[in-house]
Amino acid sequence: MLLIRCPYCEEERPELEFRNAGEAHIARSPNIAGESDDDFEKFFFIRSNPKGIIYERWRHMHGCARFFNAVRDTVSDRFLMTYKAGEPKPVKLPGATK
Amino acid sequence: MSATFRIAGAGRLKQAKIAGFSFDDRPYTGIEGDTLASALLANGVHLVGRSFKYHRPRGFLSAGAEEPNALVEIKRDAARKTPNVRATVQELYDGLTAQSQNRWPSLAFDVGAVSSIASPMLSAGFYYKTFMWPKTAWKNLYEPKIRAAAGLGVAPDQPDPDHYSARFAHCDVLVLGGGAAGIAAALAAAETGARVILADEQAEFGGSLHFESGARIDGQDGFAWAQSAVAKLKSMDNVRVLPRTTAFGYYAQNFVGLVERVSDHLQNPGRDLPRERLWQVRAKRVVLATGAIERHMVFADNDRPGIMLASAARTYLNHYGVAVGRNVGVYTANDSAYAAAIDLKKAGINVAAIVDLRDNPTGPVIDEARALGIEVNFGRAVIRAGGKLRVSSMTVQPKNGGGERTIPVDAILMSAGWTPSVHLFSQSRGKVAFNDETKRFVPGIYAQDCVSVGACNGTDGLSATIDEAYAAGAKAAKDAGSRPAKGTKPKVDAGESWSRGMLGAAPGAGSDTTVKAFVDFQNDVTAKDIRQAVHEGMRSIEHVKRFTTNGMATDQGKTSNMHGLAIAAETLGKPIPQVGLTTFRAPYTPVTFGSIVGHARGPLFDPTRKTAIHPWAERQGAVFEDVGQWKRAWYFPKPGEDIHAAVDRECVTVRKTAGLFDASTLGKIEVVGPDAAKFMELLYTNPWEKLEPGRCRYGIMLREDGFIYDDGVVGRLAPDRFHVTTTTGGAPRVMNHMEDYLQTEFPHLNVWLTSITEQWAVIAVQGPKSRDIIAPLVEGIDMSDEALPHMSVREGRICGVPTRLFRMSFSGERGFEVNVPADYGEAVSEALWAEGQKHGACAYGTESMHVLRAEKGYIIVGQDTDGTVTPNDAGLDWAVGKKKTDFVGIRGMARPDLVAKGRKQLVGLKTRDPKVVLEEGAQIVADPKQAIPMKMIGHVTSSYWSQNCGRSIALGLVAGGRDRTGETLYVPMPNGVIEVEVTGVVFFDEKGERLNG
């Protein structure tokens, strides 16, 4: 079971308290109704599914109930960092393997 | 029967405490402290089981957890039968009852052993090759027969009456393995004040000190030192010592699963003790001190009872005081077997000969064996063992061929060397590295904050082990944040040391098909099987493993993996590291379901949710159904009524007078804030800005893909306050969906969401008399149609308590939903029920609710929709705000396929014969005469008998459904085709006049 640091509660809590919510930094267009089929496909269906660093959303479901973002290495299943929703995608990653 | 193989003066058990037990219904005696294995061996019993595939007679290979052969059933009572218990780890208690397995009619005469005669047919991959033809025979003949013949023990047929507990624990240093290395590491860590947990699978700590007679530490015998060191650890407040506790799984971030066997060793466990306790430990640092496991020699008939690992024979002698034979042979490629021969010889047991595959080994143990007068043969192999139910001889030959010599023996002790137990290290995702010199895989690259010490790290010798472990324990504590302390490292006065050995088949393994030189005893895999797998094209060790099943039994190849790998590598002509090791997986040893399940069974498996009104429904004689975690009143039968009669009566009564229904389980969410209407606009398809306070609207929620996600009536209590209802099952996910958008996509909106499902109890009062029932109890709300029209909501009081009174209908009748704080739910129900009875109202349940709404064509999300239905498909286009520029799903809904012609649409279905009720889920076709498989154009989603309509009614999703109105379609069923007519979805009161009736 993973330990995940909630950036709002500012502590590590067991995975049981959290729920994954898919890839992060996929912004919903303010003009979504006017999007082309291709753009909607990219927004709604296409995910990066990387081997390595993934930016993803989690919710501290059984804690503060906030959604936040995390950087995880899908190879080692290690969390490199977590940060609040709305914050920019971090450029520098602590302890990244690649 | 007296214990004739117990050697006076040998071993550590106190002779005073006798324990009687039975094996296959024969009574025996042992001594307290025995394992079932040592007690049977003391009685001269070696034959304890039959093998999995060939039903070969089997005895004890080991004295520990790696045991592949000696699996028995331990029976406490009819319900407490545990199959496949390793006799080598089952502690003896007075009255223990054990049975052998996988044999019929008896252990000595087993009919299943004919498979041994047929064995040339049963070679590697036999299942894949033999049962190919004819195709139908697999299902009807082969699989049932194989399933009946397969498996070892028999699962108990009664519920497990024992209870199991679970604990979470945190520590600075978790030490796994309580041999010399683990104890030394724990001492070093504990001296710093760090929180330490030390766990070992055995009843007593000491690991290999159980048998290493040559070990002396701090001036004591090694085993005695281990006991005093553990006693010291136990006395420390910062240390938890867990005997009989197996670390079975090593998971992410130093999370380790352990099972403590609390009472399996007790004669009368009592009800207050759990049988097992699951420990889920999160450790800052883990020290792996899991030791090494001795390997057997691979030669013909190496599985005969009486042939065992040299270290096992030493354990039985030095710890349990039991000789495994009177005239033993030794076959080795490693020094450690000499120590066994020496100990046995000194205990007065005849050692017929030591056969050493090595050419010219030298060393003190070899000199000592010779000095004791033991015959030592170098460069020779045991090419076969004689005897069947017990080994009777060993046939020796120079390893490069030559004259054979048969030596009578009653036991053979063997050692091919030691395999470091890297299981947990490997489970931690560490990468092992092969040491070519010592022929061992040892920990290489670490993936977690752990360290391996001692034999599992490939460290040889007691002195080096303690040095390494003590330093590692101190460092682990320091790394976990403890201050260094000045402790005292245990001083090794004398120790044993060996390394090397051999991997793979010895010369006696043979190459022809009749020789059985076992690599994996539990799955009956021979050296020949592995060679054959390679010859048949398996290249990867993972394929060889699966084709032969080597290492795939419950012992997970603890003794067999390295031999199998070496034979495969040799046959492939590749070095071992290039062939690679198979993956180690949890659990290290079998774990009971009980320990994983713990208390989470029966009523504690899943929470049961009951509404505040539940007691009222119980008093009215409700039959309940499970809806998710909820118990919902299903129907209210009167004496003599079945479900059909009750539902018919309830449905008619609601439309004639009125009915009361517990609607409390509906999800309820309060959406509050200055931007509440804006938020509602984005989350629902409908327009909300212009909905006046006090009015309600039926809302549809989509996912971003444009499909219906949920629905429900929403009341606007104030400009900044909406009372949203959701489906019963949808409440948590709708709340999550709303929170997701609010927090991440629309965080600029000033809105607060609160789940109020459990705060408000809801009594639906539906039917022409509903207002008459409610009105006398209500204060402060004008109940007239003008003041409180259909789809409106008012706040006031009922029976003197606050209410949110909704005028709404899920039955098509004039209807109300009375929301009251949950604490008042039962009292208000009773008051409404008393009023209702004056008017002849009934209590009705979910089944009637379903029928009534279907008569009106109201959908149930999740029943009439399935996650691929758009509002248009469901005929709900009217609920989509046409002028809106944004809401969740607005773009998805416009995707080409979602607006294409011919989509499945919700329609009504009337059977040609009004008495026939369709089956929900039944498929619909346009032409019943077409060839099978038919083209299915839809399916029935809801279907009921409607007493109000005097016929059956159904809803279904049909391709191009609305354009087919009036058409005849067909529902093919096993006993004939049912004709249906496509209709509109409303079957009753099409104009909706009764809403105000």
Asked whether residue B150 carries a pLDDT value surpassing 60, the answer given is no
**B130: confidence class by pLDDT, cuts 50, 70, 90:** low
* Mean pLDDT for all residues in chain B: 94
Q: Chain B: nearest CA to A2, how far in angstroms?
A: 6
CA gap B767, B789 in Å, rounded: 15
Which of B446, B461, B494 is the last residue in one of the domains? B494
Beta carbons of B253 and A3 less than 8 Å apart: yes
| Residue B103 sits in the same domain as residue B223 | no
What CATH number is associated with residue A54?
Answer: 3.30.2270.10
Residue of A nearest to B747 (CA): A86
Beta carbons of A1 and B255 less than 8 Å apart: yes
Asked whether residue B137 carries a pLDDT value surpassing 80, the answer given is no
Residue of A nearest to B886 (CA): A33
| Residue B477 sits in the same domain as residue B583 | no
Beta carbons of B736 and A59 less than 8 Å apart: yes
Asked whether residue B146 carries a pLDDT value surpassing 70, the answer given is no
Helix (H, G, I), strand (E, B) or coil at B531: helix
**CA pseudo-torsion sign A12, A18, A22, A25:** negative
B445 reaches A (C-beta below 8 A):
no
Asked whether residue B128 carries a pLDDT value surpassing 70, the answer given is no
CA gap A28, A37 in Å, rounded: 14
Q: What is the DSSP letter of B296?
A: P
Question: Which distant-in-sequence residues (6+ apart) come within 8 Å of B135 by Cβ?
Answer: none
Question: pLDDT tens across B263-276, in order?
Answer: 999 999 888 999 99
**CA pseudo-torsion sign B730, B731, B736, B741:** positive
Beta carbons of B747 and A86 less than 8 Å apart: yes
Mean pLDDT of B829-839: 98
Nearest by CB to residue B744, choosing from A35, A76, A85, is A85
| Residue B670 sits in the same domain as residue B710 | yes
Q: What is the DSSP letter of B69?
A: S
Q: Answer whether B711's CB lies under 8 Å from B698's CB.
A: yes
Residue B954 lies inside a defined structural domain of this protein: yes
Domain that holds residue A25: 3-84
A57 reaches B (C-beta below 8 A):
yes
**CA pseudo-torsion sign B571, B576, B577, B581:** positive
H or E stretch at B380: strand B380-386
Question: pLDDT tens across B165-181, in order?
Answer: 999 999 999 999 999 99
H or E stretch at B519: strand B518-520
Q: Residue B651 has what pLDDT?
A: 98
CA distances from B456 to B176, B272, B419, B460 (A): 11, 37, 8, 10
Nearest by CB to residue A32, choosing from B280, B744, B891, is B891
How many domains, in total, are found in chain A? 1
Beta carbons of B744 and A86 less than 8 Å apart: yes
CA gap B307, B798 in Å, rounded: 85
Q: B552-574 in b/e burial notation, b at 16+ Cβ within 10 A? A: bbbbbbbbbbbbbbbbbbbbbee
CA gap B832, B662 in Å, rounded: 12
**B239-242 and B196-199 beta bridge pairing:** parallel
CA gap B871, B674 in Å, rounded: 29
Beta carbons of B890 and A33 less than 8 Å apart: yes
User: Across the strands, what pairs with B764?
Assistant: B661, B817
- B838: nearest Cα among B639, B650, B651, B660: B660
Interface probe for B, chosen from A1, A5, A83 (most Cβ of B below 10 Å), is A1
> Within the 882-901 window of chain B, which residues sit less than 8 Å (CB to CB) from chain A?
885-886, 890-892, 894-896
**A93: confidence class by pLDDT, cuts 50, 70, 90:** confident
Residue B159 lies inside a defined structural domain of this protein: no
N- to C-terminal Cα separation, chain B: 92
Which of B535, B560, B594 is the last residue in one of the domains? B594
H or E stretch at B624: strand B623-627
Q: Answer whether A55's CB lies under 8 Å from A13's CB.
A: no
Question: pLDDT tens across B208-227, in order?
Answer: 999 999 999 999 999 999 99
Cβ atoms within 10 Å of B578's Cβ, excluding its own:
10
| Residue B277 sits in the same domain as residue B182 | yes
Mean pLDDT of B296-309: 97
> Within the 58-87 window of chain A, which residues sit less than 8 Å (CB to CB) from chain B?
59, 61, 65-67, 76-77, 85-86
Proportion of chain B above pLDDT 70, given as a percent: 95
Q: Chain A: nearest CA to B710, how far in angstroms?
A: 19
Q: Answer whether B978's CB lies under 8 Å from B911's CB.
A: yes
Question: Which distant-in-sequence residues (6+ apart) come within 8 Å of B479 by Cβ?
Answer: B284, B285, B449
Proportion of chain B above pLDDT 90, given as a percent: 87
Nearest by CB to residue A67, choosing from B251, B704, B740, is B740
Q: Answer whether A79's CB lies under 8 Å from A70's CB.
A: yes
How wide is the angle at C-alpha B587 spanned by C-alphas B582 and B588, nearest 5°? 75
Beta carbons of B891 and A33 less than 8 Å apart: yes
If you count residue pairs, one on A and one on B, with CB atoms under 8 Å apart, how many are there? 50
| Residue B921 sits in the same domain as residue B991 | yes
Residue B753 lies inside a defined structural domain of this protein: yes
**B246: confidence class by pLDDT, cuts 50, 70, 90:** very high
Residue of B nearest to A26 (CA): B745
Q: Is the peptide bond before B443 cis (omega within 30 degrees of 0)?
A: no
A21 reaches B (C-beta below 8 A):
yes
| Residue B733 sits in the same domain as residue B829 | yes
Ramachandran region, residue B611 (left: φ > 0; alpha: ψ -120 to 50; beta: rest): beta
Domain that holds residue B84: 18-119
Q: Residue B1 has what pLDDT?
A: 41
Q: What are the backbone angles phi and psi of residue B508, rounded to the nearest 5°?
A: -75, 0
Q: Which residue has the tokens 């060393």?
A: B363
Beta carbons of B252 and A21 less than 8 Å apart: no
Collect all residues of chain B within an 8 Å Cβ-Cβ radius of residue A67.
739-740, 743-744
Q: Residue B122 has what pLDDT?
A: 66
| Residue B748 sits in the same domain as residue B802 | yes
* Mean pLDDT for all residues in chain A: 93
- B954: nearest Cα among B943, B938, B939, B941: B943
Residue of A nearest to B257 (CA): A1
| Residue B751 sits in the same domain as residue B802 | yes
What CATH number is associated with residue B745?
Answer: 3.30.1360.120
**A98: confidence class by pLDDT, cuts 50, 70, 90:** very low
Largest CA distance in chain B: 115
Beta carbons of B896 and A37 less than 8 Å apart: yes
Mean pLDDT of B90-96: 96
Question: pLDDT tens across A50-70, in order?
Answer: 999 999 999 999 999 999 999
Q: Residue B529 has what pLDDT?
A: 93
Residue A37 lies inside a defined structural domain of this protein: yes
| Residue B270 sits in the same domain as residue B252 | yes
Got the DSSP string for B190-223?
HHTT--EEEE-SSSSSBGGGGT-TT-EETTEEHH
How many domains, in total, are found in chain B? 5
CA gap B790, B806 in Å, rounded: 9
What CATH number is associated with residue B54?
Answer: 3.10.20.440
Question: pLDDT tens across B857-907, in order?
Answer: 999 999 999 999 999 999 999 999 999 999 999 999 999 999 999 999 999
Strand order in B951-959's β-sheet? B923-924, B938-946, B951-959, B904-911, B976-983, B968-973
Mean pLDDT of B666-680: 98
- B923: nearest Cα among B862, B974, B984, B875: B974
Q: Which residue has the tokens 């360290």?
A: B451
| Residue B570 sits in the same domain as residue B691 | no
Which of B494, B523, B552 is the last residue in one of the domains? B494
Mean pLDDT of B225-251: 98
Residue A29 lies inside a defined structural domain of this protein: yes
What CATH number is associated with residue B214?
Answer: 3.50.50.60
In single-letter form, the type of residue at position B149 comes to A
Beta carbons of B895 and A40 less than 8 Å apart: yes
Beta carbons of A40 and B736 less than 8 Å apart: no
HEC secondary structure over B418-443:
EEECCHHHHHCCCEEEEECCCCEEEE
Cβ atoms within 10 Å of B965's Cβ, excluding its own:
12
What CATH number is associated with residue B914?
Answer: 2.40.30.110
Asked whether residue B138 carries a pLDDT value surpassing 80, the answer given is no
Kindly tell me the burial class for residue B259, based on how many C-beta atoms sit within 10 Å of its own C-beta (0-12, 13-18, 19 or more): buried
Q: Residue B106 has what pLDDT?
A: 77
Higher pLDDT, B251 or A98: B251
Beta carbons of A33 and B885 less than 8 Å apart: yes
CA distances from B625 to B713, B832, B944 (A): 24, 23, 17
Show the tokens assigned to A43: 């927004």
Q: Which residue has the tokens 């945190």?
A: B170
Show the tokens assigned to B987: 């079957």
Collect all residues of chain B within an 8 Å Cβ-Cβ radius of residue A66.
743
Question: Which distant-in-sequence residues (6+ apart) come within 8 Å of A55 by Cβ?
Answer: A23, A24, A25, A69, A70, A71, A89
Beta carbons of B255 and A66 less than 8 Å apart: no
Q: Residue B582 has what pLDDT?
A: 83
**B110: confidence class by pLDDT, cuts 50, 70, 90:** confident
Q: Residue B271 has what pLDDT?
A: 85
Asked whether residue B200 carries a pLDDT value surpassing 80, the answer given is yes
N- to C-terminal Cα separation, chain A: 24
Residue of B nearest to A45 (CA): B705
| Residue B699 sits in the same domain as residue B818 | yes
Helix (H, G, I), strand (E, B) or coil at B694: coil
H or E stretch at B804: strand B801-807
| Residue B800 sits in the same domain as residue B725 | yes
Alpha helices in chain A (DSSP H): 37-44
Q: Chain A: nearest CA to B449, how far in angstroms?
A: 13
